[in-house]
Amino acid sequence: MSRRLATEIAGLKLANPTMLAAGVLGLTGSSLRKVVEAGAGAVVTKSLGLKPREGYSNPTVVQVDCGLLNAMGLPNPGVSHFGEEMREVKETGVPIIVSIYGFSSEEFAKAAEVAVNVGADALELNVSCPHVEETGAEIGSDPELVTEVVRKVKNKVDKPVFVKLTPNVANIVEVAKAAVETGAEAITAINTVRAMAIEIETTRPLLANKIGGLSGPAIKPIAVRCVYEIYREVDVPVIGCGGITDWRDAVEFMLAGASAVQIGTAIAFKGLEVFKSVTRGIDAYVRKKGFGSVKDIVGLAQNF
């Protein structure tokens, strides 16, 4: 792996700027380990809460023309049951970011504490799930609630805190600023876009939950715009997420201001090989442009 690709996010050392996005292959130690072996610079778990949660009934994921639509309902075994899974990935030395959610700031803080106890190197606060009531985007659309969640989590744990934001708000920059002013060490932008699809023969919504979140190529320009706007207003790393399918997408996010990129939906279409092809492509681009490090291209599009 080329030295040009090495980067650092909030003190975490990444061999390359790709990460597994929350939600895909993030529920078991063995699947996370496969992602590490495929070349990801860091991995993010599926969002974990204080208590086990079943999630919605099927169908929870459907393919649409321009990506995937999902509404799983935050199914997970509960963060305290995740220690065993973590052990398998810990051995690799690749940073593990545990995604957590809660139905109150207190729950976020307790889940954060447990996540750190089971081995999280950093936390990603999911204040952006677009369809589970009383959590996710209901919190993440209000800068005051985000402030309260970040403050309570920061008071409880001593690991870097990332905040994953929803694009389903009027002003994502305001929310990012609230998170950073309260101590968030990185911002992940963006979670899925609230969306739905209907099967015209049966007249039924395709997802059991009817409304879900859209990911994949369709949301990339929205995500790039969010990264671009957030980067200029905060002084912590921004992690880009949303429709990264090949190295060109990753470079585009980095030029907008992303220090690293998260890949999720593309795994469903291209397999785990996507991590290697994206990192190779970023490396070749950086070299061709005459830079010594991937860090040198972050935010270049801001100069125009």
Task: Give me the residues that bind ligand SIN (CB under 6 A), please.
Answer: 23, 47, 70-74, 126, 128-129, 136, 191-192, 213
Q: Which is closer to ligand SIN, CB of 45 or CB of 279? A: 45
As a whole number of angstroms, the distance between CA 66 and CA 246 comes to 15
Q: Which is closer to ligand SIN, CB of 54 or CB of 65? A: 54
Residue nearest to ligand SIN (CB): 129
Question: Shortest distance, CB of residue 212 to ligand SIN, whole angstroms?
Answer: 7
Question: Shortest distance, CB of residue 60 to ligand SIN, whole angstroms?
Answer: 7
Instruction: Find residue 43's DSSP bridge partners.
Output: 20, 96
The answer to whether residue 129 is catalytic is yes
As a whole number of angstroms, the distance between CA 202 and CA 199 comes to 6
Question: Shortest distance, CB of residue 91 to ligand SIN, whole angstroms?
Answer: 27
For 4, 11, 92, 237, 296, the CA distances from 7, given in Å and listed in that order, are: 8, 10, 17, 11, 10
Looking only at the bridges linking them, the beta strands covering 42-44 and 96-100 are parallel
Question: Shortest distance, CB of residue 73 to ligand SIN, whole angstroms?
Answer: 5
Q: Which is closer to ligand SIN, CB of 53 or CB of 280? A: 53
Q: What angle do CA 47, 50, 52 make, to 5 degrees?
A: 75
Name the catalytic one among 66, 129, 226, 241. 129
Q: Which is closer to ligand SIN, CB of 35 or CB of 195? A: 195
Active site positions, annotated: 129
